[in-house]
Chain A
Amino acid sequence: AQSVTQPDIHITVSEGASLELRCNYSYGATPYLFWYVQSPGQGLQLLLKYFSGDTLVQGIKGFEAEFKRSQSSFNLRKPSVHWSDAAEYFCAVVFSSGAGNNRKLIWGLGTSLAVNP
């Protein structure tokens, strides 16, 4: 079955430090890739997405992600973390295998980010 893995359940970084959150997906049909962020008690906000073209994607709030097909990865990065970035981060994938339920978003289990002052 197609799947998405976020290997890090919880990450703590210091404010101002760089950040990389990992996302791997199972090999299969062409993936369409998304990163969402969820602040405590809030809904999900789209950070960025990748469909095709340049494999380095810029998003909101200073985030970027790089699609690496050879590694089946779509890691999220930020050069300097702010305290307000503390949140839950979800990677999600749609595999373009066509109709019906295959168009659903398949979610990773999330990475919880804590930021130390």
Chain B
Amino acid sequence: DTEVTQTPKHLVMGMTNKKSLKCEQHMGHRAMYWYKQKAKKPPELMFVYSYEKLSINESVPSRFSPECPNSSLLNLHLHALQPEDSALYLCASSQAWTNSGTDTQYFGPGTRLTVL
């Protein structure tokens, strides 16, 4: 089973709202990722968690706040977003985050976020 689930599928929020995106995997993976993807573009890495600790933050604005409550769950808390933050937000997981280069990432279906 290589399934990563994400909720909600769609989210519309105003610029003053606070919302959260959720991601879950039950593959025993110890690395989890958040990506942002604009239409017709490749995904852009935002955050990497390894063993529930933040390993990579790609200079993401503080209005995006990740959280990894346990090894199966990854959240992305959203606050005071801008219209340009509208995008598909993808979660991924891999067995680990190592130097080997062979950590295959498995992606969820994404959350389509629209900021009004």
Interface residues of A (CB under 8 A from B): 30-32, 34, 36, 41-46, 49, 51, 88, 90, 92, 94-96, 98-101, 103-105, 107-110, 112
Is A88 in contact with B112, judged by CB distance below 8 angstroms? no
Contact A108 B110 (CB under 8 A): no
Beyond A44-B107, A51-B102, A108-B42: 4 further Cβ-contacts under 8 Å? A43-B90, A98-B99, A103-B101, A112-B40
B49 contacts chain A at the CB level, 8 A cutoff: no
Most B-side CB within 10 Å, residue of A31, A44, A45: A44
Contact B42 A107 (CB under 8 A): yes
Which one of A94, A96, A103, A107 has the highest number of Cβ atoms from chain B below 10 Å of its Cβ? A103
B residues touching A (Cβ–Cβ < 8 Å)? 2, 4, 6, 40-43, 45, 56, 90, 92, 97-110, 112
Which 4 pairs from chain A and chain B are nearest by CB?
A107-B42, A96-B101, A94-B101, A43-B109
For A100, the chain B residues whose CB sits under 8 A away are 56
**A32 with B101, Cβ < 8 A, contacts A43-B90, A109-B41 known:** yes
Enumerate chain A residues within 8 angstroms of B98, measured Cβ to Cβ.
103
Q: Which residues of B contact A112 (CB under 8 A)?
A: 40
- Name the residue on B nearest A34 (C-beta): B104
Q: Is the CB of A110 within 8 A of B42?
A: yes
Candidate in A43, A49, A103, A109 with the most chain B CB atoms within 10 angstroms: A43
Report whether B104 and A46 are in contact in the complex, using a CB–CB cutoff of 8 Å.
Answer: yes
